[in-house]
Amino acid sequence: MKAFLFAFATLLFASLTPAEVASQKPAETKEAEKPTEPAKPDPLEAIKNETAKLTAERERIAAQIALDQSKLDEKLAPRKRALAEIQIQMEEMKAKLDLAEAERRAKDDPEMMELRRKNERLMMEFAIAKNEVDTEGFAMRKEENAVRRKTTALTMQMELQQKEGESRSYAVGKAPAYPKDPLIGKKLVLSDRTIPLNGIITGKTADGIADRISYFNNRDPEAPIFIVIDDCPGGSVMAGYKILKAMHGSTAPVYTVVKSMAASMAACITTLSKKSFAYPNAIILHHQLSVGVMGNLTQHRENVQELEEWWRRLADPVATKMGITRDEFIKRMYAESSTGDWNEFADDAQKLKWVDVIVEDIEETALLRDPNSQPQQDSNHPNRLSPGPPSTEVVESQDERGKPISLLPRLNPLDAYWLYNPDSYYRMQ
């Protein structure tokens, strides 16, 4: 920096004239004579002023150059336009010359002229053929579209008819009813919260019923659940007891509905349910536990003790509901039947408190699909656990002499056939 300042001061001093130098000398002499030396001017300030002057001069020169260039462009613009027009005219003239040269060569060469005409004819034929193909394709597509529209219309009509037919197999616009009190006069209203109990009661049956009770509780803990018994001969004591515990542990009330027959364990389930319903002619049958075992005398004594305990646990609640003791219950069984199989029609069983309510009508609000439109088994009861008693269909056959006969399905022990059969065509299996 010091070297720069020294150089700048030297340059500044050199630029002074001899007169300016002479005029400065007396001042310096006078200043030297002064007792105190004044402050020296700031060299940086001088440098900044000089730099500003140079910058302004450079900008002025650049502006002057731009102005001169603009004037020059304006002066040369007509010449540039004239040159562009001349170039376009030259290109047009060259194209005309090329065309004239080509025509001249074609006239001088008949073979070339013939080839040109042939090429033009082929191009025309190709264009005509292409147009014909396009026209034919358009006609085919038009016809295809017409056929497709007709096919689509027929398909839609068939689907509409099919859907209309299917809709007639549904009770459209209706939904299952879930009344808190399902009894309306003498009519019982059932929802889709039904669990059919048919056939023999096994461990699988009990598991299925318990699972469905839990499922219905998870869906709605208040609406009633119905265990519907069409025809059940009873079954496993342990399985039946599991069903009872699932019923009694349910938050939603679990009701029993007997349509035809509830015997043995099924009768116990009906009697001990929170509330039970039955048709008047449904049959309820109670009897003592029965079991067939093999073993020695000690084993038989042990089995008897176990049966006595089971009988106490299941028969006591039934006898208590009837208002009698267990021994009185047994005594009444054998007073009514020598086998101890005490059965009553539901309207009489109501007096014994085996069933709570007698109904004349049961409305199945969940039956919303035509039974004839689907397989019979489990069609209207998706929760059905068993298909019912076996051999429920009439079997066409022949007797030993080749005579056509029909074998009737087996009935439960409390049922009977009432039919006109003068020629013995219908026979028992």
User: What does the block give as tokens for 32?
Assistant: 């030297």
DSSP 323: T
User: What confidence score (pLDDT) does residue 90 get?
Assistant: 82
CA distance linking residue 24 with residue 289, whole number of Å: 148
Which residue is associated with the tokens 């969940």?
366
The pLDDT tens digits for 274-324 are 999 999 999 999 999 876 667 777 877 887 788 888 889 999 999 999 999
User: What confidence score (pLDDT) does residue 293 get?
Assistant: 66
Q: Are 271 and 318 in contact (CB under 8 A)?
A: yes
- How many other CB atoms sit within 10 Å of the CB of residue 276? 25
Could you give all domains of the chain from N- to C-terminal order, each with its CATH number? 183-287+341-373 (3.90.226.10), 395-428 (no CATH)
Residue 100: φ, ψ to 5°: -65, -40
One-letter amino acid identity for 311? W
User: What confidence score (pLDDT) does residue 5 get?
Assistant: 43
- CA-atom Rg of the chain in angstroms: 58
User: What confidence score (pLDDT) does residue 259 get?
Assistant: 96
| Residues 183, 379, 166, 169, CA torsion sign | negative
Q: Are 273 and 253 in contact (CB under 8 A)?
A: no
Q: How far is CA 240 from CA 69, 78, 168, 245, 314, in A?
A: 113, 116, 41, 9, 10
Q: Are 182 and 188 in contact (CB under 8 A)?
A: yes
User: What confidence score (pLDDT) does residue 40 get?
Assistant: 61
CA distance linking residue 104 with residue 99, whole number of Å: 9
Residues of the chain with pLDDT under 70: 1-43, 105-109, 169-173, 291-293, 370, 372-392
The pLDDT tens digits for 138-190 are 888 888 888 888 888 888 888 887 777 777 766 666 788 899 999 999 999 99
